[in-house]
Chains A and B, each alone.
Chain A
Amino acid sequence: MKLKPQIKQKIAFALLGLAAVTVIVPVILILAILVQRGWPAISWQFLKEMPRMGMRAGGIFPAIIGTLCLVAGAISVALPLGILTAVYLVEYAKKNWWTRMIEIAIVNLAGVPSVVYGLFGLGLFVIFFHFGSSILAGSLTLAIMELPVIITSSKEALMSVPRSFREASLALGVSKWETIRCVVLPNALPGILTGSILGVSRTAGETAPILFTVAAFYLPRLPQSIFDQCMALPYHLYVLSTQVPNVRPALQYGTALVLVGMVFFLNLVAIIVRSHIRSRKQW
Chain B
Amino acid sequence: MRKFREAIIEKAILLNGFACILFVILIFVFLAKDGLTLFRTIAIQDFLFGKIWSPLAEPPQFGILPLFLGSLVVTLGATVISVPLGIACAIFIGEIAPRWMRETLKAGVELLAAIPSIVIGFIGMTLLGPVVKNLFHLPTGLTAVTGSIALAFMAIPTMVSIMEDAITSVPRTYKEGSLALGATHWQTIYRVIIPAASSGIVAAIMLGIGRVIGETMAVMMLTGNASVMPKTILAPVRTMTATIAAEMGETVRGSEHYFSLFAIGLVLFGITFLINFLSDMARHRKIR
Which A residues are closer than 8 A to B by beta carbons?
A: 5-6, 8-9, 12-13, 15-17, 19-20, 22-24, 26-28, 30-31, 33-34, 81, 84-85, 87-89, 92-93, 101-120, 122-124, 127-128, 144, 147-148, 151, 175-177, 201-202, 204-208, 211-212, 234-235, 237-238, 241-242, 249, 252, 256, 259-260, 263-264, 267
Contact = CB atoms under 8 A, between A and B. Distances in A.
A107 B97 contact: no
Nearest to B128: A26
Contacts of B112: 23, 26-27
B217 A207 contact: yes
A177 B2 CA distance: 11
Given A22-B85, A24-B105, A88-B16, A207 B214 contact: no
Nearest to B30: A123
Contact of B92 (A17, A30, A116, A176): A17
A114 B269 CA distance: 10
B107 to A, nearest CB: 8
Interface stretch (B38-46, B50-58, B165-173, B181-189): B181-189
Contacts of B268: 113, 115-116
B97 A20 contact: yes
A207 B118 contact: yes
Contacts of A112: 27, 214, 269, 272-273
B13 interface: yes
A111 B210 contact: yes
Chain A, interface SS category: helix
Contacts of A202: 114
B271 to A, nearest CB: 9
Interface stretch (B60-68, B132-140, B228-236, B244-252): B244-252
A13 B186 contact: yes
B180 interface: no
A188 B90 CA distance: 29
B27 A116 contact: yes
Contact of A205 (B18, B116, B126, B189): B116
Given A24-B108, A113-B215, A119 B262 contact: yes
A229 B14 CA distance: 35
B10 interface: yes
A85 B210 CA distance: 24
Contacts of A84: 12-13, 16
Given A5-B183, A177-B9, 13 more contacts: A12-B186, A16-B88, A19-B84, A19-B88, A20-B89, A30-B120, A31-B111, A105-B20, A105-B21, A109-B23, A109-B24, A112-B214, A128-B30
A203 to B, nearest CB: 10
Given A20-B93, A119-B261, A260-B115, A249 B126 contact: yes
Nearest to B157: A23
A111 B123 contact: no
Interface in B95-146: 96-97, 105, 108-112, 114-123, 125-127
A155 to B, nearest CB: 12
A119 B245 CA distance: 9
Q: Closest 10 CB pairs between A and B?
A: A205-B116, A113-B214, A19-B88, A88-B17, A9-B186, A111-B276, A123-B30, A84-B16, A208-B216, A115-B216
Given A17-B92, A92-B10, A208-B245, A81 B19 contact: yes
B245 A211 contact: yes
B265 interface: yes
A123 B160 CA distance: 35
A144 B189 CA distance: 40
A41 B21 CA distance: 46
A264 B113 CA distance: 11
Contacts of B237: none
13 contacts: A9-B186, A16-B89, A23-B160, A108-B272, A113-B268, A116-B244, A118-B245, A119-B244, A123-B31, A202-B114, A205-B119, A208-B217, A241-B121
